[in-house]
Amino acid sequence: MKIVGLDQHCVNPGDLSWEEIETLGEYTVYERTNSVSDVVERSKDAEAILVNKVEITNDVMSQLPKLKYIGEMATGYNNIDIEAAKRRGIVVTNVPAYSTDSVAQLVFAHILNISNSVDHYATETRNGEWSRQPDFCYWDTPIIELSGKTIGIVGLGNIGMKVAMIAHSFGMDVSAVTSKETHNLPTWIRKSTLTGLLSSSYIVTLHCPLTTDTRQMINSKTLQLMHPNSILVNTGRGGLVDEDAVAAALQSKELGAYCVDVLNEEPPRSDNPLFKCDRAYITPHVAWASRDARSRLIHIAAGNIKAFIDGKPVNVVNGL
């Protein structure tokens, strides 16, 4: 089988091996593929392609007559027209749950940075502020204890549930917007509506897919439901929020902080309105990128390809 990886640099910038995939066929790796014409040229003889963020549209597929398989090297697959793939008999798979622990860890890295002002005090100490104090300790921001606070989780998939478990271990009250039935949830998770969750939570964290229904679910209207000191966390998809509305809410102090690892445009424009907000804490889409998580990603992706070759595909997202 001829396999082509179109944008593999972020998955493996050189610290991991492609051996598991190389044993399955003739594997050609491209670090980046930026144009539609390059996608078509590089994939024209491929039976299988692997993508991370490259868009595979119906038009692209129409120019790849040998294509039988698309492997999404991620959990989200909104960059692939899965209905067009289904019509063409092209199997599409994704890689679920590979980054659950890493993403949940970054969620709480952001939350703890806010609640304990870790970056602020590390900077203050380096600048000599503690050394100038008359007392043994120094603080000039509120120190927030998470125990007893309410965290609202939008989406209880693998990552959302992991975040819920960590929050519970901190002694937090956990609310969630989820399609799961109440009797299938732990007793310590309270099922809620989005309106109820936004209005009652000190921290709101987004872990749902980006769909037509969830696009900009956080906007100027829904932000008004949140308390002025609330923390909004987004490690899901940038499109879940209206960035202009969030920036405005931060500037007017109607939102306490925005902790985000994903933006609408990546890499972002230098004039993104969030960059002007002191209480916007932005990491460059790294929640998934631990070496452990990327190693699992490659291992599962290789397993997906092997299962397809064996005629028993797994992790299929388009019903074939």
* Active-site residue flag, 285: yes
Q: 203-206 and 48-51: which strand pairing?
A: unpaired
* Active-site residue flag, 129: no
Spot the catalytic one: 110, 285, 294, 296.
285
What is the residue type of 191? Answer: K
Cis peptide before 267 (omega within 30 of 0): yes
Spot the catalytic one: 22, 26, 83, 266.
266
Number of Cβ atoms within 10 Å of the Cβ of 7:
20
Spot the catalytic one: 237, 243, 254, 294.
237
Show Cβ contacts of residue 205 under 8 Å, excluding neighbours closer than 6 positions: 107, 151, 152, 153, 154, 160, 163, 232, 233, 234, 235
Compute CA distances 53 → 50, 175, 209, 296, whole Å.
10, 32, 15, 18
Which one, of 208, 223, 218, lies nearest residue 161 by Cα?
A: 208
- 14 burial (CB, 10 Å; 0-12 / 13-18 / 19+) is exposed
Contact in structure between 228 and 198 (CB atoms under 8 Å): no
Q: How far apart are CA 289 and CA 294, in angstroms?
A: 6
- For 265, half-sphere exposure in the C-beta direction (CA atoms, 13 angstrom radius) is 9
* Active-site residue flag, 227: no
- Supply the residues annotated as catalytic: 237, 266, 285
